[in-house]
Structure 1
């Protein structure tokens, strides 16, 4: 809309009264109706997300999509949505039309929102100060969940977290929290440090059980590091000691440092073989993390006067097997591809997500989060996006009512303890 100020032509020859009439008529004919103005304001975040996709998506042709048409198709759903979940669904449906990974919209009702903001914290540090004055954290119990046939199942439990302490297991169907429908964040708001009761079903068609848990204030990076350290354990099989560790997130060198510490001087230093679990969680891994398992490289240690030894370069020279599944994504898929291609050991589980683009995170004006794929990625000239990495030994894991059973881990232990496969 043109502003009315001297020099723009409106004052050149008009009488003051005539100008007033012109302004009045212009306001009647050109100003948006009140309802339209409200809709435009409501759509601000939707339009902001659409613009960022247009400007930042790695393919300037947007995979051949008429982006204006895509936006126009999903905008009414966003405007008609009731609540944050409905609006998020509309934006994610728009993003899904590009058929690309690393296209995610999330609000503060979703644990992924906090986890992704923390992963992208360096690029978002100024916005984080605005939207998270006390740091990035959320109320939770330390689980991943998956919707299957309209039901909510636990798909992963973070070792050392409230859910693990309370006995929740992978495969449990969550029915209610304190008698209300389960919501991954909302169910625990204002309940940190106070006991809640979860109604669950562990067997298909079985009885409902009640588990008491105490939600915690979770800082994503700290929670993943704790879960990684707490996951480390030794499994005895056929006279061999098999080490196990689960890397839930690889978004930072600190996770690799924890792995090297566990293997060089920690709990797993004297085991006979290792299960390296990269299932679920988040990627971010660097290809050079595989150097740890290059047995042809040198070890280098420093020994202090006190006798304390520290590794400057540590190499794991014993057998190792990798666990993968459909939740193994992004940088973890780079590791899976190379681990398999260069013969480091068996890769056990199911095909990875096929989600290997490079993403960038944005905090929108209302504080919600948008990730946009900003680079295409190839590994050794191979494009993994949309294809994934197949295991060398296929072992499915049916989540619903698994009661904590883990046939993929069982197979890895079998392979490492007996040298069998297939």
Structure 2
């Protein structure tokens, strides 16, 4: 997972690539373009090479939430960026040309992703039900990609670990937030390509933990990452108890909220899992994908009842559960979309402290498209207001501001440390 396709792909006005709590799907044609046999050969090649770009521009025109395209001269913009697309030498450059066109609309939820980008697989998985008729063509063995389960961020030409999915290969290898990734098996780091054909084997990752410090090699065993499954397992594995000041603090990191499963995991861990006997909760919504529904905040509405079901074998499950103890929410610039709705409501209705930095300001509803070459396009199709307020391009400010400088953090997390301090000193309950 990589910042270029997952964490910090941004338009001019806000973060792009985020998933809204409203998800819809559309399929672009997989073929059926006009024949080019009568055109001169060079012109035919140019038209053929521009088909994907033209598809993307057309789908934006037809589906973007503002039918006036924010007053932009879309024809002129398309013509200009089309030239950059045609001049591109590689698939990555062509995708960059499409994303540059999308960025002209200053909106989140506008992204083009290809197979060298983890976002391609993550978005395909999130939209898989609507795309299931065509996904088998591109993912005959299911949606997965080779990786180690870390988020990275590029800063000053260097790549740093910005997050580690608990229980996955990067975590097992001992990678920490703040590590500079210098190379993988002696070659520059690429979030997918570096691990292609190496699943089941091992790679040597050269890292630097201190600014201008020595290089250290860690050995990781790349795995096939199935996005939804990986996010669910990492969420469960992140759940732990932090002992502080005589209190037991529950911690859990929700990397994705694109589906009811993630809220069910939260409820299960708090009601009957590893976190059930905690004195307070740290709810980490930093980075990853949105998709959350406003009703997920009901778990903190103490005025409702709990309800459990018990099977004949004594197994119990919770239909409704309320957390009646203190809670703090951690947010940052990667907290986006549906997660921003939760952060907004959590803050507005006084459910606890919001600790960290201002959220992404990426709150539109997106629709996914598979283009004719199998690449993925997401277009913002609905504007969104929360309690009448528009968060797009604005975000939600924390109640306690705590900056976090990722490079060479050596695993230290000042935002989590502050949450621990706040809750461990809380005298309620």
TM-score (norm 1): 0.91
Structure 1 residues 306 and 366, CA, compared in 2 at 3 Å: closer, same or farther?
A: closer
The residue number in structure 2 matching 1:388 is: 395
- Provide the rounded CA distance (Å) in 1 between the counterparts of 2:314 and 2:94: 60
Residues 9-408 of structure 1 aligned to structure 2 (within 5 Å): 31-304=38-311, 307-408=314-415
Deviation at 1:168, TM superposition (A): 0.5
- Provide the rounded CA distance (Å) in 1 between the counterparts of 2:115 and 2:311: 48
Deviation at 1:309, TM superposition (A): 3.5
- Provide the rounded CA distance (Å) in 2 between the counterparts of 1:259 and 1:321: 14
Deviation at 1:124, TM superposition (A): 1.1
Deviation at 1:306, TM superposition (A): 5.2
DSSP 3-state at the match of 1:227: helix
- Provide the rounded CA distance (Å) in 1 between the counterparts of 2:129 and 2:94: 27
Deviation at 1:302, TM superposition (A): 3.3
Deviation at 1:305, TM superposition (A): 5.5
- Provide the rounded CA distance (Å) in 1 between the counterparts of 2:316 and 2:127: 35
Deviation at 1:301, TM superposition (A): 2.5
DSSP 3-state at the match of 1:408: helix
Structure 2: state its 5+ residue gaps: 1-36
Deviations along 1:299-336, one digit per CA (max 9) or x if unpaired, are: 12334565544322111100000000000000000000
Deviation at 1:360, TM superposition (A): 0.6
- Provide the rounded CA distance (Å) in 2 between the counterparts of 1:226 and 1:305: 28
- Provide the rounded CA distance (Å) in 2 between the counterparts of 1:221 and 1:75: 34
Deviations along 1:330-383, one digit per CA (max 9) or x if unpaired, are: 000000000000000000000000000000111111110000000000000000
- Provide the rounded CA distance (Å) in 2 between the counterparts of 1:161 and 1:412: 25
DSSP 3-state at the match of 1:348: strand
- Provide the rounded CA distance (Å) in 2 between the counterparts of 1:197 and 1:357: 40
Deviates more, 1:117-126 or 1:339-348: 117-126
- Provide the rounded CA distance (Å) in 2 between the counterparts of 1:114 and 1:132: 10
DSSP 3-state at the match of 2:194: helix
Work out which structure has the larger RCO, using CA pairs closer than 8 Å and 6 or more positions apart in sequence.
2
Deviation at 1:87, TM superposition (A): 0.8
DSSP 3-state at the match of 1:230: helix
Deviations along 1:214-268, one digit per CA (max 9) or x if unpaired, are: 0000100000001000000100000000000000000000010001000000000
Mark the structure with the bigger radius of gyration: 1
- Provide the rounded CA distance (Å) in 2 between the counterparts of 1:307 and 1:34: 73
- Provide the rounded CA distance (Å) in 2 between the counterparts of 1:277 and 1:394: 15
Structure 1: state its 5+ residue gaps: 1-29
CA-based RMSD: 1.2
